[in-house]
Structure 1
């Protein structure tokens, strides 16, 4: 059985969102501070949720672990991002594990319930990271900054938005497996509710009056038993033996002898 398209989309977009959100969480570039007074004009201060770095654009020299004199890390949007981004990554990794067990490309039939649960975890992970990134972006110009400096959005926010959207789309795609799971349960329920007649049950004799009132095709459909797949060969293996007009019969083994 081929893996459903919805599962493929979810299992591909999930790792892509993981890479983007992991980079957004660890890189110190949520906000850029430029044109700092009484500092070199090409100096750029990169502020993240874990560290602050300063980079000189002319020489490409970077210095990290800059002191937080403005209490930037104590602000609520930064504290929320510190909690939600790692939680989002943990939820995403758990969702990818569950989704991988559900998709199971190495087996004939995927486990739709596990794939749907993995999709819910991916969706929740995308929401957590999206809340953190959106809140920080909304309060970006309200956070403490050096006076008369210029504030710009860092690339981590862009990566965070992209990763969150990919996770949400992948999670929604995987949750479509719940519909497939419901269909499988209905088919199993219908199969178990259908009972075949007992083997020792005798078929009632057909009288002339019954035979005249009931069509032969209806009788055939009523008393016909399902044929197992192992006996559905369209070739007649005894055709050569019956068609032989000679008294001599071949002594070579055929399918019926085997």
Structure 2
């Protein structure tokens, strides 16, 4: 139960971090500044501009950013256009949101079931929370798998166009998502294992009994006057 309580919130935080950051994929595109039709070159003549600029593009589930390399010029905007309308991106968005909701609900149930402030936990409630956390982890893994498998063509196949010299590759948010999803599956599985009640230790003198109802019932123990006798119940 302790393992589940630790790893489940950790997975929730990591998946949430991956969901809100715009680094699911990154790409670079070089913008030519020397052509005759370059508006930027013609408007600022004599300023010592380089022949080309390297643009860094990053896409997330809900946000896209564009930055000029080695400068503070960066612009982010909500994802729109063919990328936002891509069915695979929308599927990943829905799976991630459902995963976050199920994981949060599972953690609440697990906290109620573990009941650290009492001696006896509610094992069924804790295991139900673990089942929800495992389901959340599987949903987020599915979303990450779909996005990663189609990473290079998301938002581009429908229009048949690509950015010039743009090379796309996985970015940091994907790794946060993979790590968080695995933590959810691990934590939820640990909570599921807590559904089974541990066996009570048997009395050495009567191994056929599940537990000693009263230690004073065994003469080899009760004959010792200097030993305190306690009744143990599991």
TM normalised by structure 2 equals 0.71
For the pair shown, which has the larger CA radius of gyration, 1 or 2?
1
- Work out whether residues 37 and 148 of structure 1, in 8 Å CA contact, stay in contact via their aligned partners in 2: no
After superposition, the CA RMSD in angstroms is 2.7
Matching residue within 3, 8, 11 for 2:5: 11
- Work out whether residues 43 and 56 of structure 1, in 8 Å CA contact, stay in contact via their aligned partners in 2: yes
Matching residue within 165, 170, 178 for 1:153: 170
CA change 1:126–1:45 in 2 (3 A) is same
- Structure (1 or 2) with the greater helix fraction: 1
Q: In the TM superposition, what are the counterparts of 1:1-258 in structure 2 within 5 Å?
A: 7-38=1-32, 41-65=53-77, 68=80, 71-143=82-154, 144=156, 145-180=162-197
Output the CA distance in 1 between the equivalents of 2:146 and 2:12: 20
Displacement of 1:68 in angstroms is 4.1
Gaps of 5+ in 2: 34-51, 157-161, 201-212, 217-221, 228-234
Output the CA distance in 1 between the equivalents of 2:20 and 2:215: 63
Residue 55 of structure 1 aligns to a residue in which SS? Answer: strand
Output the CA distance in 1 between the equivalents of 2:4 and 2:73: 40
Residue 164 of structure 2 aligns to a residue in which SS? Answer: coil
Gaps of 5+ in 1: 1-6, 185-224, 237-258
Displacement of 1:110 in angstroms is 1.2
CA change 1:12–1:151 in 2 (3 A) is same
Number of equivalent positions: 187
Tell which has more relative contact order, 1 or 2 (C-alpha 8 A, sep 6+): 2
Write out the 4+ residue segments of structure 1 that deviate beyond 6 Å after TM superposition: none
Displacement of 1:227 in angstroms is 8.0
Output the CA distance in 2 between the equivalents of 1:227 and 1:30: 63
